[in-house]
Structure formats: structure tokens, C-alpha cells
Amino acid sequence: MSKEKKEANFEELMEKLEQITNKLEKENLNLDESVELFEEGMNISKQCSEKLENAEKRITMILDPDSMEEEDFNIQN
């Protein structure tokens, strides 16, 4: 069995981001907890943006393969 951590998909990341947002809005957290959750949310948001950007590049390549140079296209799983 592999010890590698399975990378979350976009939907899982968005669900986690929603949980963090709800916790920040509804729970009475101290400053340290709030900052830690905010930082985690920002990291998740960055991952979501990267996944969306890669999906957009893939779609562009499918629709118009001549529109992008090969070095501009880097899929990250």
C-alpha cells in the first residue's frame, strides 16, 4: 500500500474551504485559531485556482491546439 497522500480534487477542496468559512463565521474562535484557519483557507484557495487554470489550459488546447505553445502548457495533477 502506498504511503503517498491522495491529492484532493477540486470539489473536495471547495467543500473544505466552505467548512473553514463556516467555522470562521459561526464559531467564536480566538485570534490564533482564526489566523490558522484563514491561512489554511488561503492555501486551499490557491490550490483551487491552480486546478481551474490547468483545466482552462486543457480546454483551450482541446478546442484550439494551435493557440498555445507547448511550454505554456503544464498540467499539474
CB 59 within 8 A of CB 41: no
Helical pair 31-63 and 10-26, crossing angle rounded to 10 deg: 150
pTM for this structure? 0.73
The pLDDT tens digits of the residues spanning 49-63 come to 999 999 999 999 899
CB 24 within 8 A of CB 37: yes
CB 20 within 8 A of CB 40: yes
Largest CA distance in the chain: 53
Give the C-alpha distances (Å, rounded to integers) separating 49 from 55, 59, 66.
10, 15, 24
The whole-number pLDDT of residue 11 equals: 96
